[in-house]
């Protein structure tokens, strides 16, 4: 298994097509997220990440920079046939490493309830009530955000 996780370029048509194809398959087709909710204003400015297994794009995530030391991870998706093989773990490590290299200390995300334990392995803590996003139960999670009053 040859796995490569990297920063992708949303402005590059090849990268964008790969990122969109994964999100379309996982969020829109598999999970039923309305297509008009999947694509938003953050795509043009976020940092996007791509995991490629044996040269094939299989997972994606994005990092939205809120301010100098706060960012939000989102749109984390691994194709169904590739789950359970450590790809999500490797991609998440790439995203958090990139954030740390950029001086981001406070990371936030909105986790689907069924994957909260996955994010807890990376030091995220769930806070607040469960809420619905696109009809899917989510919970806010934070890592190293205490100094920001979160």
Residues of the chain under the 50 pLDDT cut: 148-149
CATH of the domain at 74: 3.40.630.30
Query: How many separate domains does the chain show?
Result: 1
Q: Quick one: pLDDT at residue 145?
A: 83
Closest CA relative to residue 42, chosen from 78, 72, 6:
72
- 123 within domain boundaries: no
Q: Quick one: pLDDT at residue 147?
A: 52
* DSSP designation for 150: -
Q: Quick one: pLDDT at residue 1?
A: 78
- 125 within domain boundaries: no
- 24 within domain boundaries: yes
The pTM (predicted TM-score) of the whole model is 0.92
Residue 11's domain spans which residues? 3-107
- 41 within domain boundaries: yes
Q: Quick one: pLDDT at residue 146?
A: 64
Closest CA relative to residue 31, chosen from 23, 42, 20:
23
Instruction: State the Cα–Cα distance between residues 150 and 67, nearest whole angstrom.
Output: 14
Q: Quick one: pLDDT at residue 68?
A: 85
* DSSP designation for 26: I
- 119 within domain boundaries: no
Structure confidence by residue, pLDDT tens digits, 71-109: 999 999 999 999 999 999 999 999 999 999 999 989 999
């Amino acid at each position: 298994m040859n796995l490569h996780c990297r920063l992708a370029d949303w402005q590059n048509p090849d990268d964008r097509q790969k990122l969109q194809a994964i999100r379309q398959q996982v969020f829109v087709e598999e999970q039923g997220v309305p297509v008009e909710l999947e694509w938003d204003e953050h795509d043009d400015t976020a940092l996007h990440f791509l995991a490629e297994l044996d040269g094939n794009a299989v997972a994606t995530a994005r990092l939205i920079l809120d301010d100098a030391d706060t960012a939000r991870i989102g749109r984390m998706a691994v194709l169904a046939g590739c789950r359970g093989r450590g790809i999500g773990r490797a991609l998440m490590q790439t995203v958090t490493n990139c954030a740390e290299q950029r001086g981001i200390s406070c990371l936030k995300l909105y986790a689907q309830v069924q994957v909260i334990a996955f994010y807890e392995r990376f030091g995220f803590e769930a806070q607040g009530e469960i809420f619905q996003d696109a009809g899917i139960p989510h919970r806010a999670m934070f890592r190293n955000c205490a100094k920001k009053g979160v």
